[in-house]
Protein backbone atom coordinates (compact mmCIF):
# COMPACT_ATOMS: atom_id res chain seq x y z
CA UNK A 1 0.00 0.00 0.00
CA UNK A 2 1.15 3.50 -0.65
CA UNK A 3 2.57 5.49 2.21
CA UNK A 4 2.46 2.40 4.39
CA UNK A 5 -1.36 2.50 4.69
CA UNK A 6 -2.33 -1.16 4.90
CA UNK A 7 -5.97 -0.23 5.47
CA UNK A 8 -6.31 1.54 2.13
CA UNK A 9 -7.50 -1.64 0.39
CA UNK A 10 -6.50 -2.93 -3.00
CA UNK A 11 -5.03 -0.33 -5.33
CA UNK A 12 -6.16 -1.70 -8.69
CA UNK A 13 -3.72 0.35 -10.82
CA UNK A 14 -0.88 -1.23 -8.82
CA UNK A 15 -2.32 -4.72 -9.35
CA UNK A 16 -2.77 -4.07 -13.08
CA UNK A 17 0.73 -2.60 -13.37
CA UNK A 18 2.31 -5.53 -11.53
CA UNK A 19 0.43 -8.15 -13.54
CA UNK A 20 1.27 -6.33 -16.80
CA UNK A 21 4.96 -6.15 -15.85
CA UNK A 22 5.06 -9.85 -14.99
CA UNK A 23 3.26 -10.60 -18.28
CA UNK A 24 5.85 -8.54 -20.17
CA UNK A 25 8.67 -10.52 -18.59
CA UNK A 26 6.89 -13.86 -19.17
CA UNK A 27 6.02 -13.05 -22.79
CA UNK A 28 9.54 -11.77 -23.37
CA UNK A 29 10.99 -15.01 -22.07
CA UNK A 30 8.56 -16.97 -24.24
CA UNK A 31 9.42 -14.92 -27.35
CA UNK A 32 13.12 -15.46 -26.72
CA UNK A 33 12.54 -19.19 -26.13
CA UNK A 34 10.54 -19.59 -29.34
CA UNK A 35 13.21 -17.82 -31.39
CA UNK A 36 16.16 -19.65 -29.84
CA UNK A 37 15.93 -21.39 -26.45
CA UNK A 38 19.31 -20.24 -25.04
CA UNK A 39 18.28 -16.66 -25.77
CA UNK A 40 15.65 -16.90 -23.03
CA UNK A 41 18.40 -17.42 -20.45
CA UNK A 42 20.22 -14.37 -21.75
CA UNK A 43 16.99 -12.36 -21.60
CA UNK A 44 16.45 -13.50 -18.00
CA UNK A 45 19.93 -12.19 -17.15
CA UNK A 46 19.05 -8.88 -18.87
CA UNK A 47 15.82 -8.62 -16.83
CA UNK A 48 17.61 -9.31 -13.55
CA UNK A 49 20.57 -7.03 -14.30
CA UNK A 50 18.35 -4.16 -15.48
CA UNK A 51 16.12 -4.38 -12.43
CA UNK A 52 19.08 -4.55 -10.05
CA UNK A 53 20.71 -1.52 -11.69
CA UNK A 54 17.39 0.33 -11.47
CA UNK A 55 17.08 -0.53 -7.78
CA UNK A 56 20.70 0.43 -7.08
CA UNK A 57 20.71 3.80 -8.84
CA UNK A 58 17.12 5.08 -8.63
CA UNK A 59 15.27 3.48 -5.73
CA UNK A 60 17.42 4.83 -2.86
CA UNK A 61 16.34 8.38 -3.85
CA UNK A 62 12.61 7.68 -4.07
CA UNK A 63 10.25 8.90 -1.35
CA UNK A 64 8.56 5.49 -1.31
CA UNK A 65 11.93 3.95 -0.50
CA UNK A 66 12.28 6.22 2.51
CA UNK A 67 8.78 5.30 3.68
CA UNK A 68 9.29 1.61 2.84
CA UNK A 69 6.06 1.79 0.83
CA UNK A 70 7.16 0.96 -2.72
CA UNK A 71 4.24 -0.68 -4.49
CA UNK A 72 6.67 -2.79 -6.51
CA UNK A 73 8.45 -4.03 -3.39
CA UNK A 74 11.79 -2.83 -4.77
CA UNK A 75 12.69 -1.21 -1.46
CA UNK A 76 13.36 -4.68 -0.04
CA UNK A 77 16.28 -5.15 -2.44
CA UNK A 78 17.24 -1.48 -2.80
CA UNK A 79 18.01 -1.22 0.91
CA UNK A 80 21.32 -2.96 0.19
CA UNK A 81 22.48 -0.14 -2.07
CA UNK A 82 23.94 3.07 -0.60
CA UNK A 83 22.39 6.48 -1.03
CA UNK A 84 24.82 9.26 -1.94
CA UNK A 85 24.46 12.80 -0.60
CA UNK A 86 23.56 15.57 -2.99
CA UNK A 87 21.72 13.37 -5.48
CA UNK A 88 18.02 13.70 -6.19
CA UNK A 89 15.39 11.28 -7.39
CA UNK A 90 14.71 13.34 -10.51
CA UNK A 91 18.35 13.43 -11.54
CA UNK A 92 18.96 9.74 -10.78
CA UNK A 93 15.83 8.74 -12.67
CA UNK A 94 16.84 10.84 -15.66
CA UNK A 95 20.35 9.39 -15.68
CA UNK A 96 19.59 5.73 -15.09
CA UNK A 97 16.14 4.90 -16.44
CA UNK A 98 17.88 3.77 -19.64
CA UNK A 99 19.08 0.64 -17.82
CA UNK A 100 15.55 -0.69 -18.43
CA UNK A 101 15.60 -0.08 -22.20
CA UNK A 102 17.10 -3.46 -23.13
CA UNK A 103 14.18 -5.22 -21.43
CA UNK A 104 11.74 -3.33 -23.66
CA UNK A 105 13.64 -2.75 -26.88
CA UNK A 106 15.33 -6.08 -27.53
CA UNK A 107 12.31 -8.38 -27.51
CA UNK A 108 10.27 -6.79 -30.29
CA UNK A 109 13.41 -6.96 -32.45
CA UNK A 110 14.02 -10.59 -31.50
CA UNK A 111 10.39 -11.44 -32.20
CA UNK A 112 10.42 -9.72 -35.57
CA UNK A 113 13.64 -11.55 -36.45
CA UNK A 114 11.97 -14.85 -35.54
CA UNK A 115 8.93 -14.03 -37.65
CA UNK A 116 11.10 -13.19 -40.67
CA UNK A 117 12.11 -16.84 -40.96
CA UNK A 118 8.54 -18.17 -40.94
CA UNK A 119 5.17 -17.21 -39.57
CA UNK A 120 4.80 -18.86 -36.19
CA UNK A 121 1.39 -18.10 -34.68
CA UNK A 122 2.59 -18.82 -31.14
CA UNK A 123 5.51 -16.43 -31.55
CA UNK A 124 3.25 -13.79 -33.09
CA UNK A 125 0.75 -14.13 -30.22
CA UNK A 126 3.49 -13.89 -27.57
CA UNK A 127 5.02 -10.87 -29.32
CA UNK A 128 1.63 -9.12 -29.57
CA UNK A 129 0.91 -9.82 -25.89
CA UNK A 130 4.36 -8.48 -24.98
CA UNK A 131 3.66 -5.27 -26.92
CA UNK A 132 0.08 -4.93 -25.61
CA UNK A 133 1.12 -5.33 -21.97
CA UNK A 134 4.37 -3.37 -22.27
CA UNK A 135 3.36 -0.50 -24.49
CA UNK A 136 -0.37 -0.07 -23.74
CA UNK A 137 -1.53 -1.59 -20.44
CA UNK A 138 1.57 -0.84 -18.37
CA UNK A 139 1.83 2.84 -19.36
CA UNK A 140 -1.89 3.40 -18.71
CA UNK A 141 -1.66 1.80 -15.26
CA UNK A 142 1.55 3.67 -14.49
CA UNK A 143 -0.04 6.97 -15.45
CA UNK A 144 -2.70 6.39 -12.77
CA UNK A 145 -0.04 5.52 -10.19
CA UNK A 146 2.21 8.43 -11.20
CA UNK A 147 -0.64 10.92 -10.80
CA UNK A 148 -0.75 10.33 -7.05
CA UNK A 149 2.94 9.59 -6.47
CA UNK A 150 4.92 11.45 -3.83
CA UNK A 151 7.71 11.94 -6.41
CA UNK A 152 5.42 13.37 -9.13
CA UNK A 153 6.56 16.97 -8.76
CA UNK A 154 10.22 16.10 -9.34
CA UNK A 155 9.91 13.04 -11.59
CA UNK A 156 10.89 13.36 -15.26
CA UNK A 157 8.44 10.56 -16.08
CA UNK A 158 5.32 11.67 -14.25
CA UNK A 159 5.93 15.28 -13.39
CA UNK A 160 6.31 18.47 -15.34
CA UNK A 161 9.05 18.42 -17.94
CA UNK A 162 10.46 21.75 -16.75
CA UNK A 163 11.22 20.29 -13.31
CA UNK A 164 14.77 19.67 -14.48
CA UNK A 165 16.47 22.79 -15.71
CA UNK A 166 19.08 22.05 -18.41
CA UNK A 167 22.58 22.81 -17.22
CA UNK A 168 21.58 22.71 -13.57
CA UNK A 169 23.97 20.52 -11.58
CA UNK A 170 22.04 18.10 -9.39
CA UNK A 171 24.62 15.28 -9.33
Q: What DSSP string runs through 123-137?
A: HHHHHHHHHHIIIII
Give residue 96's domain range. Answer: 2-163
Contact 31, 24 (CB under 8 A): no
48-73 pLDDT, tens digit per residue, is: 999 999 999 999 999 888 888 888 88
Cα angle 133, 81, 48; round to 5: 35
Evaluate whether residue 91 is within a structural domain. Answer: yes
Domain count, the chain: 1
Evaluate whether residue 46 is within a structural domain. Answer: yes
Best CA proximity match to 126, nearest among 45, 43, 51? 43
153-162 pLDDT, tens digit per residue, is: 887 766 544 4
Evaluate whether residue 168 is within a structural domain. Answer: no
Evaluate whether residue 64 is within a structural domain. Answer: yes
Rounded Cα gap, residues 28 and 104, in angstroms: 9
Comparing 16-20, 23-27, 122-126, which segment has the lowest mean pLDDT?
A: 16-20
75-94 pLDDT, tens digit per residue, is: 889 999 999 999 999 999 99
pLDDT confidence of residue 36? 97
Evaluate whether residue 171 is within a structural domain. Answer: no
Evaluate whether residue 170 is within a structural domain. Answer: no
Helical residues (DSSP H) of the chain, grouped into ranges: 12-35, 37-57, 63-66, 75-78, 89-96, 101-117, 121-132, 138-147
Evaluate whether residue 23 is within a structural domain. Answer: yes
- What share of the chain in percent tops pLDDT 90? 61
Evaluate whether residue 156 is within a structural domain. Answer: yes
Amino acid sequence: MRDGDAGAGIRWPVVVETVALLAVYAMGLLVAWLVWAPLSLLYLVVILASNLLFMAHICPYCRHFEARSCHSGYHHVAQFFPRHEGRTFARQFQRYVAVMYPVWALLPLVGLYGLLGSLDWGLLAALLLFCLCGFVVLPLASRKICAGCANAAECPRGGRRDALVPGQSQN
